[in-house]
Structure 1
Amino acid sequence: MVEAVALPAPWQVRVEAGDNVAVADTLKAGTGGSAGMRPHELLEASLATCMTISARMALADLGITDAEVRVRVHLEREETATRFRYELLLTPELEVHRPAIEEHIARSPVRSTLSKPLTFEPA
């Protein structure tokens, strides 16, 4: 569970998950700031981190434990759809493993969660 608490500064929010704490922020009409990620960036971050972990797990299955892996995610909000575009960045020596890594990140937990229909309900 994650809890968000409004802070005194306009649009700043403290986000808590267990012992982990972060700040989110946004800028609207000249008010607010950049003390933390914007809410949509948190969605991008969730997917990017999960895919990166999944990529590292795929490489660990291949016996590669110290590889640098990066995933970039860009969220596109359209009138009728939300699109997550992602890019898997690998060093040249890891390119041979791209198909196995891509297969693993296609099944990453956050991607699987976001791929299902969503509902929003009060607790």
Structure 2
Amino acid sequence: MIETAALPTPWQVRFRAGDNEGLADTLKGGVGGTTGMRPHELLEASLATCMTISARMALAELGATEAEVSVRVHLEREETATRFRYELLLAPELEAHRPAVLERLACSPVRTTLSKPLSFDPS
């Protein structure tokens, strides 16, 4: 569960999950700031971090325990669809493992969650 609280600075929000916390912010019409990540960037970060963890796990299972791997995610908000574009970045010596890692990314937990129909229900 995530808890949020508005801060005195316009559009700035502190979010917390247990002992971990962060800052979100946005700039609209010249008001607000860029102190924290924008809300849509948090969605991108959620997917990218989960995919990177999944990639590291896949590579560890293949014997590459200290592999250099990263994932870039870009969220495209279109009128009729939301699209997450992602790119797997592997060290050159790991390219042979790309198909296996991409297969793991396809079933990473956050991607699986975002791929299901969503509903929003107030308590």
Same fold (TM over 0.5): yes
Aligned to 2:93: 93
Q: Unaligned regions of 5+ residues in structure 1, if any?
A: none
Aligned to 1:62: 62
**Matched residues in 1 for 2:113 and 2:87: separation?**
19
Q: Secondary structure at the match of 1:83?
A: strand
Aligned to 1:37: 37
Aligned-pair CA distance for 1:65:
1.0
Q: Unaligned regions of 5+ residues in structure 2, if any?
A: none
Matches within 5 A, 1:1-123: 1-123=1-123
Identity of aligned residues (%): 77
Q: Secondary structure at the match of 1:119?
A: coil
TM-score (norm 2): 0.99
Q: Secondary structure at the match of 2:103?
A: helix
Q: CA RMSD in A?
A: 0.5
Find runs of 4+ consecutive structure 1 residues off by over 2 angstroms. Answer: none
**Matched residues in 2 for 1:54 and 1:121: separation?**
29
